[in-house]
Structure 1
Amino acid sequence: MSTLDQPTRARRHPQPVTWVILGVLALYAVGPLLVLAGNSLKSAREIDSNPLGFPQAWSWSNFAEAWERAHMGGALLNSAVIATATALGVAVIATTAAYAMTRLELPGGGAWILWLLVSSSLPIQLFLVPLVSWWSTLGLYNQPIGLIIIYWAVYSPFATLLVRAFLVGLPREYEEAARLDGAGELGVFARIVLPMIRPAVLTAALVAGLQSYNEFMLAVTFIQDRDLQPVALSLYSFQQGFTTDWSLVSAAGLIMALPVVVLFLTMQRRFIDGYVSRGIAV
């Protein structure tokens, strides 16, 4: 074997230090979830005496009790509706906006990119007071659709930049050929462009949906009715009422986390591909 092949082999086989670093990072990421799962199967007394160890007597009844007391069924349904509507709305807004920015001659040029960067970096706390007043006047306060509209506005700028990065790198020959065949602008967008940017659209939708599922501040500000609360608020209310019984709180927290974990494990390949295949082009 020539000496030129040795660096290539070294790159293909990670060194022990690399495995140690990866193991520490994996433990850092998965460790809290394992502790949460272990505590959800313990009694409150066992958590006080052994908070980080394995459960001695597995208390599966904690999940049923937490499900009933924390009203997790209705809360998960509310969160599913909010997250799904947010993901779909952000996908539509980001896709159409990115297509207009890259394929249409909009006035202002790069000003739209600057506006998206600034709007995505501003803290939402600046707009809470006027939003509460405005939403109360419009009848959107304490309504899921009011919260969903705010999520559309908050998560769409970054999603637009992500989808735009894909569109910038796409060759326009396919679109021009479709136009020569008589396809209109809508047909070019739906039949040619949209299938090619599907990973970016899916990634933008997943990011927005997961963020809305875990979001707390806006939800606690704009949703007051207990029957309309998403799962994050339901878990918070349950924790405030059962601060000493960490076994039930842990069980409720694990119930909340499981849908996100399952979704990410199912979609992780497309999720990661959508992030790493393109950069945020400006």
Structure 2
Amino acid sequence: MSALTTPRPAPARRLSPGRYAVYGILLLLALFAVGPMVLFAFNALKTPAGLAESPLGLPAHPQWHNFVDAWQQANMGVGLRNSAIVVTGTALGVCAISSCAAYALSRLRVPGSNVFIYYLLVTTALPIQLFLVPLFYLWTNLGLYDSLFGLIIIYWAVFSPFATLLIRSFMVGLPKEYEEAARLDGAGEWRVFARVVLPMAWPGLLTAALVAGLQAYNEFLLAVTFIQSSDKMPVSTAFFAFKSGYTQNYTLVSAGGMIMVIPVLIAFLLLQRRFIEGYTSSGMTG
């Protein structure tokens, strides 16, 4: 009998120079994305003198109390509560408005629908600064100034055009057989929309809600223009508390920024798979 020979291990697969170049570019992009956040965290743990001496170095003696001082000085607990109200109201309203508009543009025979789509594209490109003065007077006369609900209505108008295009591009790719079967069973248009289309378009709705909620959470100009009371200001305006005269404590600004970023990071890490799937399947990636 011939001796049994052990199989030779497969040779290690060598990476091509092009693959190394791709990995190098991805590593640089990762450093470009994560680097500012790491530097931001380091600055939050420094003293003002340490930040001025070494703005790019590690903190010699971490000042953990900066986070406590930033939380108390900027009243960030109230700001986070107000931001949660604004984000929730904005996301729900944008989804309701945009889903109805997207369904009409993708499924119903709306006269001039192509013109309306071009109109939405134009409105997404216009800067909101063009409408600040007339909107300020209108909101003052309507009693919506210095109101979280008034700010949420503005966000509905600002963020709904893009969300409509996003959800519409998702609905266009949905199969129509289920809708036709529901109509044959006697379902009306509203029931077809609520019971058939919306469940299938759920990833697109979630993506639109995340995009609108993130934009509302980070938005500063409209919040500082239409909110005056300190107990109603969202967390994005909390950085005014770190300014004293003509100077600014950048260590507390960094600590407050880290506190503001943490909820967004947690939400994105929990929902990133749904977000990426909904965004790529909608066809908005080009």
**1:93 is matched with which residue?**
97
- Aligned mates of 1:50, 1:78 — CA distance in 2: 36
SS of equivalent residue, structure 2 residue 243: helix
1:25-64 alignment, distance < 5 Å: 25-64=29-68
Cα deviation code 1:207-241 (max 9, x no counterpart): 00100110111111111111111111112x12323
**Structure 2 unmatched runs, 5+:** 1-12
- Whether 1:186 aligns to 2:190 is yes
Shift of 1:170: 1.3
**1:265 is matched with which residue?**
269
**1:24 is matched with which residue?**
28
Shift of 1:246: 2.1
- Aligned mates of 2:217, 2:15 — CA distance in 1: 39
**2:220 is matched with which residue?**
216
Of 109, 126, 133, 2:130 maps to 126
1:1-282 alignment, distance < 5 Å: 15-235=19-239, 237-241=240-244, 243-280=247-284
- Aligned mates of 2:119, 2:216 — CA distance in 1: 22
Moved runs in structure 1, 4+ residues, more than 3 A? Answer: 9-14
Give the partner amino acid of 1:18. V
Shift of 1:187: 2.1
CA RMSD after TM alignment: 2.0
Give the partner amino acid of 2:32. Y
User: Taking structure 1 as reference, are residues 226 and 261 closer, same or farther at Cα in structure 2, changes over 3 Å only?
Assistant: same
- Aligned mates of 1:156, 1:142 — CA distance in 2: 22
Shift of 1:278: 2.5
Moved more, 40-49 or 156-165: 40-49
**2:10 is matched with which residue?**
none
Shift of 1:184: 2.4
Contact 2:167 / 2:282 at 8 angstroms: preserved in 1?
no
Report how many aligned residue pairs link the two structures. Answer: 272
Give the partner amino acid of 2:182. A
Contact 1:175 / 1:188 at 8 angstroms: preserved in 2?
yes
Give the partner amino acid of 1:214. N
Moved more, 109-118 or 84-93: 109-118
**1:5 is matched with which residue?**
none
Moved more, 202-211 or 14-23: 14-23
User: Taking structure 1 as reference, are residues 216 and 11 closer, same or farther at Cα in structure 2, changes over 3 Å only?
Assistant: farther
User: Taking structure 1 as reference, are residues 147 and 244 closer, same or farther at Cα in structure 2, changes over 3 Å only?
Assistant: closer
- Aligned mates of 2:17, 2:179 — CA distance in 1: 43
User: Taking structure 1 as reference, are residues 18 and 214 closer, same or farther at Cα in structure 2, changes over 3 Å only?
Assistant: same
Give the partner amino acid of 2:262. L
Give the partner amino acid of 1:31. G
Contact 1:174 / 1:192 at 8 angstroms: preserved in 2?
yes
Shift of 1:186: 2.3
Shift of 1:163: 0.5
Question: Quick one: percent identity of the two aligned structures?
Answer: 56
Contact 1:238 / 1:249 at 8 angstroms: preserved in 2?
no
Shift of 1:56: 2.1
